[in-house]
Structures are given as structure tokens and as C-alpha cells.
Amino acid sequence: MGNAEMILKDGDFCKVIAGTHKGKSGFVKDIKISKTGHITITISQKSGVRFKTLGKNVELIID
């Protein structure tokens, strides 16, 4: 699935495929658009740890 086709929403399960948090996964909690126009999301892992990453670095996991 290409990033252009991906629509993230709160509660979706996703995996980080690039960047600092590569390999981590969790649930989308917060989606914002930065001043420069990039999509930023907060991901909450099952352990409760949260981190922020760019929307282009994640892949939606569909069950």
C-alpha cells in the first residue's frame, strides 16, 4: 500500500518502517499537520510508551 493511498485515523494499528523508531508498532493516538505541511502522529505502544513520528514513516496494519 502506497503512502498516497493510506488514510490514518485514531485507533489504527501501524508499524514504523523508517526513521528513528523503525520496527516499532502501536496504535495511532494523535494526528497533526505541521507548519511545513508534514503529517505527524503519536503512536502508543501496548506497553504504554508513546513516541512521535512522521506519517510517511508508517505502514498501516490491516487485520
Would you kindly state where each structural domain of the chain is located, as residue ranges?
A: 13-60
- pLDDT reported for residue 7: 82
Rg of the chain, C-alpha, whole Å: 11
pLDDT score of 30: 92
**1: confidence class by pLDDT, cuts 50, 70, 90:** very low
Residues 5-62 have pLDDT tens digits of: 568 889 999 999 999 999 999 999 999 999 999 999 999 999 999 999 999 999 999 8
pTM assigned to the model? 0.81
pLDDT value, residue 5: 54
Residue 62 DSSP SS3: coil
Strand order in the sheet with 50-54: 50-54, 39-44, 25-33, 13-16, 58-60
Distance between CA 40 and CA 44 in Å, rounded? 13
Cell triple for 25: 508498532
What's the CATH architecture for 13-60? Answer: Roll (2.30)
Question: φ and ψ at 55, to 5 degrees?
Answer: -60, -30
